[in-house]
Structure 1
Amino acid sequence: MQRLLIAASAVAVAGFMAPPARPTSVRMDASVDSILEDIKGLTLVEASELVSKIEETFGVDASSAPVAMAVAGGAAAGGGDEAADEKDEFDVVLTEVPADKKIAVLKIVRTITGLGLKEAKGMVESAPVTIKEGAPKDEAADIQKQIEEGGAKVELK
């Protein structure tokens, strides 16, 4: 379905580049709405065939249309039928610890990981290092907030 949105957007962009084939009218809005309703009723196989024919007919490549990707990305964020490829687990990586913030960050790392003083100190001093693997999104964001408030830099991967 995403390829269909990409192709349709690419065709729309290509249409703006070419001179109009017919005068714009109110009927055109109705026909566009009608076409959109027809597209909504297609199966995935039919939609895939449509994308291929649009690419062939108009000489466009739907997979590399930057404008179309932005439109498709917005549609996916809007809660389309297909599940978005959103990550739900993150690795929390301690990337940088300023020398004057080591003790504060060390305390936070110990609390988060449950490690002893020696192990936590080793992690803090060997940055960049993964503090927590496979943390849920909310937990990873909370860990990131705690560590950044302590003065260190963190990345979620």
Structure 2
Amino acid sequence: MADVKKLAEELTKLTVLEVNELKNVLKDEYGIEPAAAAVAVAGPAAGGDAAAEDEKTEFTVQLKDAGGQKVPVIKAVKEITGLGLGEAKALVDDAPSAILEKVSKDEAEEAKKKLEDAGASVELV
């Protein structure tokens, strides 16, 4: 049981880039599709009422698609996250991917606008 708790603690400390790498390992080496995990996580929340959604204080900026021109989107991701060029490119290439996690509504909206202005398709979760 202590090992499971330790694993859970380690998972909560992962950066966005590390989560993205984990997603790829789970998909490529174990055949676990990211969408299945997202549905499992989102399942209980779907049963909640509308008032619970209004009270949401932390958001994830999800890049759904980079659009036709990836370079402006990569630059926007680099600016928003502070990541290096290679890391930002990896996030864009692996879309859908989380660009920011557990951020305020204002910060999420600002990031969404920058990404959409660059031509990306973005969702706040």
State the TM bucket, normalised to the shorter chain: 0.5 to 0.7
Equivalent in the alignment of 2:101: 133
1-structure distance, mates of 2:69, 2:81: 18
CA distance 1:87–1:127, shift in 2 (3 Å): same
- Where does the alignment leave 5 or more consecutive residues of structure 1 unmatched? 1-72, 77-82
Q: Which residue of 1 aligns with 2:90?
A: 122
Please identify the structure whose Cα radius of gyration is greater: 1
Q: How many percent of aligned residue pairs carry the same amino acid?
A: 50
- Amino acid of the structure 2 residue aligned with 1:90: F
In the TM superposition, 1:40-51 aligns within 5 A as: none
Q: TM-score, normalised by structure 2?
A: 0.57
Partner of 1:94: 63
Q: CA RMSD in A?
A: 2.1
Q: Secondary structure at the match of 2:119?
A: coil
Q: Which of the pair has the greater relative contact order for Cα pairs under 8 Å at 6+ separation?
A: 2
Structure 1 runs, 4 residues or longer, greater than 2 Å off:
none
How far apart, CA to CA, are the structure 2 residues paired with 1:126 and 1:150?
A: 17
> Number of aligned pairs?
77
Shift of 1:101: 1.6
TM-score, length of structure 1 as denominator length: 0.45
Cα distance change, pair 85–119 in 1 and its aligned pair in 2 (3 A): same
